[in-house]
Amino acid sequence: MLILPAWLTIHLVRRQRRLATWTRTQATIRHTRKTKYDSSATTGSAATEAAFRARYEYRDATGVPHRGEVEHLPDPKVGDIVEVMYAPDDPSSSDTVYGGSVAGRIVNYSAVFILLGGGGVFLILASLDLISL
Protein backbone atom coordinates (compact mmCIF):
# COMPACT_ATOMS: atom_id res chain seq x y z
CA MET A 1 0.00 0.00 0.00
CA LEU A 2 2.92 2.35 0.55
CA ILE A 3 4.08 1.81 -3.02
CA LEU A 4 0.82 3.04 -4.60
CA PRO A 5 1.28 6.80 -4.05
CA ALA A 6 4.87 6.72 -5.36
CA TRP A 7 3.99 4.56 -8.36
CA LEU A 8 0.96 6.69 -9.22
CA THR A 9 2.99 9.89 -8.97
CA ILE A 10 5.68 8.49 -11.26
CA HIS A 11 3.04 7.34 -13.74
CA LEU A 12 1.30 10.72 -13.84
CA VAL A 13 4.61 12.65 -14.11
CA ARG A 14 5.65 10.48 -17.06
CA ARG A 15 2.33 11.15 -18.76
CA GLN A 16 2.72 14.90 -18.24
CA ARG A 17 6.22 14.74 -19.76
CA ARG A 18 4.86 12.87 -22.79
CA LEU A 19 2.12 15.48 -23.19
CA ALA A 20 4.76 18.21 -23.17
CA THR A 21 7.38 16.60 -25.44
CA TRP A 22 5.74 14.08 -27.77
CA THR A 23 4.51 15.08 -31.22
CA ARG A 24 0.75 15.48 -31.58
CA THR A 25 -1.29 14.48 -34.60
CA GLN A 26 -4.74 13.25 -35.53
CA ALA A 27 -5.68 9.60 -35.78
CA THR A 28 -8.70 7.83 -37.21
CA ILE A 29 -10.52 5.09 -35.31
CA ARG A 30 -10.40 1.97 -37.52
CA HIS A 31 -11.92 -0.70 -35.26
CA THR A 32 -13.89 -0.76 -32.01
CA ARG A 33 -14.82 -3.53 -29.62
CA LYS A 34 -17.28 -3.36 -26.75
CA THR A 35 -16.78 -5.75 -23.85
CA LYS A 36 -19.35 -6.27 -21.12
CA TYR A 37 -18.25 -7.35 -17.68
CA ASP A 38 -19.86 -8.01 -14.35
CA SER A 39 -18.99 -5.31 -11.84
CA SER A 40 -20.62 -6.98 -8.83
CA ALA A 41 -17.20 -7.82 -7.38
CA THR A 42 -16.28 -4.14 -7.08
CA THR A 43 -19.65 -2.47 -6.53
CA GLY A 44 -21.43 -5.04 -4.39
CA SER A 45 -24.51 -5.00 -6.62
CA ALA A 46 -25.29 -7.10 -9.67
CA ALA A 47 -24.44 -4.70 -12.50
CA THR A 48 -23.07 -5.14 -15.97
CA GLU A 49 -20.77 -2.47 -17.36
CA ALA A 50 -19.22 -1.96 -20.77
CA ALA A 51 -15.64 -1.18 -21.70
CA PHE A 52 -14.64 0.08 -25.12
CA ARG A 53 -11.40 -0.69 -26.92
CA ALA A 54 -10.50 1.06 -30.12
CA ARG A 55 -7.70 0.69 -32.66
CA TYR A 56 -6.57 3.85 -34.36
CA GLU A 57 -4.28 4.72 -37.26
CA TYR A 58 -2.11 7.81 -37.66
CA ARG A 59 0.80 9.05 -39.77
CA ASP A 60 4.06 10.40 -38.40
CA ALA A 61 5.81 13.55 -39.69
CA THR A 62 7.34 11.60 -42.60
CA GLY A 63 3.98 10.15 -43.64
CA VAL A 64 4.59 6.60 -42.44
CA PRO A 65 1.39 5.00 -41.08
CA HIS A 66 1.30 3.59 -37.54
CA ARG A 67 -1.36 1.98 -35.37
CA GLY A 68 -2.22 2.12 -31.71
CA GLU A 69 -4.87 0.88 -29.32
CA VAL A 70 -6.78 2.67 -26.59
CA GLU A 71 -9.36 1.59 -24.01
CA HIS A 72 -10.38 4.77 -22.23
CA LEU A 73 -12.32 6.66 -24.92
CA PRO A 74 -16.01 7.16 -24.17
CA ASP A 75 -18.01 5.27 -26.83
CA PRO A 76 -15.64 5.47 -29.85
CA LYS A 77 -17.03 4.98 -33.36
CA VAL A 78 -15.25 3.83 -36.52
CA GLY A 79 -14.21 6.92 -38.46
CA ASP A 80 -13.95 9.21 -35.41
CA ILE A 81 -10.92 11.48 -35.30
CA VAL A 82 -8.92 11.53 -32.05
CA GLU A 83 -5.82 13.45 -31.06
CA VAL A 84 -2.80 11.24 -30.37
CA MET A 85 0.79 11.86 -29.41
CA TYR A 86 3.79 9.79 -30.45
CA ALA A 87 7.42 9.63 -29.40
CA PRO A 88 9.62 11.64 -31.80
CA ASP A 89 12.38 9.02 -31.51
CA ASP A 90 10.00 6.06 -31.95
CA PRO A 91 6.83 7.05 -33.86
CA SER A 92 5.32 3.58 -33.35
CA SER A 93 5.01 4.36 -29.61
CA SER A 94 1.83 6.38 -29.13
CA ASP A 95 -0.94 7.30 -26.73
CA THR A 96 -4.09 9.35 -26.97
CA VAL A 97 -3.95 12.91 -25.67
CA TYR A 98 -7.26 12.34 -23.90
CA GLY A 99 -6.17 10.03 -21.10
CA GLY A 100 -9.17 9.95 -18.85
CA SER A 101 -9.38 11.78 -15.57
CA VAL A 102 -6.72 11.65 -12.89
CA ALA A 103 -9.39 10.60 -10.39
CA GLY A 104 -10.41 7.74 -12.67
CA ARG A 105 -6.83 6.55 -12.96
CA ILE A 106 -6.38 6.73 -9.18
CA VAL A 107 -9.53 4.63 -8.64
CA ASN A 108 -8.47 2.04 -11.24
CA TYR A 109 -4.91 1.69 -9.98
CA SER A 110 -6.00 1.71 -6.35
CA ALA A 111 -8.40 -1.15 -6.99
CA VAL A 112 -5.60 -3.24 -8.50
CA PHE A 113 -3.23 -2.56 -5.61
CA ILE A 114 -5.90 -3.21 -3.00
CA LEU A 115 -6.81 -6.56 -4.56
CA LEU A 116 -3.19 -7.65 -5.00
CA GLY A 117 -2.11 -6.26 -1.64
CA GLY A 118 -5.09 -7.80 0.14
CA GLY A 119 -4.42 -11.16 -1.49
CA GLY A 120 -0.75 -10.96 -0.52
CA VAL A 121 -1.53 -10.08 3.10
CA PHE A 122 -4.07 -12.91 3.25
CA LEU A 123 -1.53 -15.45 1.94
CA ILE A 124 1.13 -14.27 4.39
CA LEU A 125 -1.25 -14.45 7.36
CA ALA A 126 -2.52 -17.86 6.23
CA SER A 127 1.02 -19.23 5.88
CA LEU A 128 1.81 -18.06 9.42
CA ASP A 129 -1.37 -19.76 10.70
CA LEU A 130 -2.69 -16.42 11.95
CA ILE A 131 -5.96 -17.00 10.11
CA SER A 132 -7.68 -20.22 9.22
CA LEU A 133 -8.79 -21.13 5.74
Report pLDDT digits (tens) over 3-62: 777 777 788 888 888 888 999 999 999 999 887 766 555 555 556 677 788 999 999 999
Q: In what order do the strands lie in the sheet with 94-96?
A: 65-70, 48-59, 23-38, 81-86, 94-96
Using DSSP, state whether 17 is helix, strand or coil: helix
Name 84's bridge partners: 25, 96
> Please, is 124 exposed, middle or buried when counting C-beta atoms within 10 Å of its C-beta (0-12, 13-18, 19+)?
exposed
Model confidence, pTM: 0.62
Write out pLDDT tens, residues 76-93: 899 999 999 999 999 999
d(CA 117, CA 7): 14
Report the Cα–Cα distance between both ends of the chain, in Å, rounded: 24
